[in-house]
């Protein structure tokens, strides 16, 4: 059976129809856990950006275990520690993909490169967000500390190609594989097709704000697998939590969730993230 998804942009359409099939062909049998969605067909004439028909997978999903809305599932609180090790393995599988090879395959490569996470660009953007940061509950001293803290960049500079929106609701668990779905494009620094591995890990971490046990187990597995330094992970959590808070700010139904991300920001600045 097929699953229809309307592409949200021209870049997303080309990523799904050109890059994902190429990854499946080259790496499909080498990934330990990752399953790239199989694209069955597409329609580039469908408005506004094209239609993508992928394989419909019959597996375990996590829409009923994670929610951004208040309640029993907010921030993954009902998930236990499930996926805390599997998501680290998915990162290891994604790290296998040769970025230079992938981005040489199609004209979409230039668009993907242009949308890659740029740390210096983020730092410049952050400098202009002081008023918004204060409105979210970040003090001026904390804002200044964050500017200084992120200036040095990352020691762990590995970049990976990913769906960007790397959190439990975009996973389908099969008997021996996990399908990574929703390869959607979004401008800015919150989600990127090409990003630092540590940023992608931090994105998963901050989306589990309601489950500290999961976060602690995830961090333990992350350290064992990649040897990432505490300083790098703190910077990544600070960056991604700030962007997520900005994304949700202004929604009257998500004020507590914005506060949770600001809390991540403050914890990352203090070094209080289970490291």
pLDDT 10s digits, 197-234: 999 999 999 999 999 999 999 999 999 999 999 999 99
* Per-residue pLDDT, 115: 81
Average pLDDT of span 83-110: 90
CATH number at residue 175: 3.90.1200
* Per-residue pLDDT, 112: 84
Q: Which tokens belong to 211?
A: 């489950």
Domain assignment present for residue 202? The answer is yes
pTM of the predicted model as reported, rounded to 2 decimal places:
0.96
Domain assignment present for residue 104? The answer is yes
CA–CA dist 214, 219 (Å, integer): 9
3-state class of 68 per DSSP? coil
Domain assignment present for residue 235? The answer is yes
**pLDDT value at 195 more than 80:** yes
Query: 2-23: per-residue pLDDT in tens?
Result: 999 999 999 999 999 999 999 9
**pLDDT value at 83 more than 80:** yes
Domain assignment present for residue 275? The answer is no
**pLDDT value at 106 more than 80:** no
* Per-residue pLDDT, 71: 84
Domain assignment present for residue 71? The answer is yes
Q: Give which of 262, 268, 168 is closest to 218, Cα–Cα.
A: 168
**pLDDT value at 107 more than 80:** no
Q: Residue 46's pLDDT band (boundaries 50, 70, 90)?
A: very high
Cβ partners under 8 Å of residue 228, min gap 6: 156, 198, 201, 222
Least trusted range by pLDDT, from 75-84, 96-105, 120-129: 96-105
Average pLDDT of span 75-92: 97
Domain assignment present for residue 106? The answer is yes
Average pLDDT of span 51-64: 96
Q: What is the DSSP string of 216-228?
A: HHHHHHHHHHH--
Domain assignment present for residue 244? The answer is yes
Note down the domain range covering 246.
2-270
- Whole-number mean pLDDT of the chain? 95
Angle formed at CA 93 by CA 150 and CA 162, multiple of 5 degrees: 55
Average pLDDT of span 43-48: 95
3-state class of 255 per DSSP? helix
Average pLDDT of span 252-264: 96
Q: Residue 87's pLDDT band (boundaries 50, 70, 90)?
A: very high
Distances (CA, A) of 198 to 4, 25, 79, 98, 226: 31, 26, 22, 17, 9
Domain assignment present for residue 60? The answer is yes
Please tell me what DSSP assigns to residue 168: G
Total domain count, the chain: 1
Average pLDDT of span 245-274: 95
Please report which residue ranges of 85-158 form alpha helices under DSSP H: 86-95, 99-102, 108-114, 119-127, 130-136, 140-150
Query: 22-38: per-residue pLDDT in tens?
Result: 999 999 899 999 999 99
């Amino acid at each position: 059976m097929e699953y229809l998804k309307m592409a949200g942009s021209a870049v997303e359409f080309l990523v799904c129809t050109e890059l994902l099939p190429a990854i499946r062909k080259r790496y499909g049998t080498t990934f330990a856990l990752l399953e790239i969605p199989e694209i069955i067909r597409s329609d580039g004439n469908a408005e506004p950006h094209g239609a993508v028909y992928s394989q419909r997978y019959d597996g375990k999903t996590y829409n009923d275990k994670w929610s951004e809305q208040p309640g029993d599932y907010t921030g993954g609180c009902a998930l236990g520690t499930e996926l805390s090790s599997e998501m680290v393995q998915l990162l290891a599988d994604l790290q296998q993909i040769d970025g230079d090879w992938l981005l040489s395959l199609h004209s979409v490569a230039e668009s993907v490169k242009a949308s890659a996470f740029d740390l210096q660009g983020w730092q410049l953007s952050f400098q202009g967000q002081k008023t918004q940061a204060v409105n979210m509950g970040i003090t001026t001293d904390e804002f200044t500390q964050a500017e200084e803290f992120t200036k040095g960049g990352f020691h762990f500079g590995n970049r990976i190609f990913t769906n960007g929106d790397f959190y439990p609701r975009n996973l389908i668990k099969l008997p021996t594989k996990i399908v990574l779905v929703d390869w959607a494009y979004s401008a800015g620094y919150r989600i990127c097709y090409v990003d630092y591995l540590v940023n992608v890990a931090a994105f998963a971490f901050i989306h589990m704000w309601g489950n500290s046990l999961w976060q602690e187990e995830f961090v333990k597995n992350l350290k064992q697998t990649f040897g990432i330094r505490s300083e790098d992970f703190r910077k990544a959590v600070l960056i991604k939590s700030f962007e997520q808070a900005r994304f949700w700010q202004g929604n009257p139904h998500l004020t507590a969730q914005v506060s949770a991300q600001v809390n991540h920001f403050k914890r990352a600045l203090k070094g209080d993230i289970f490291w």
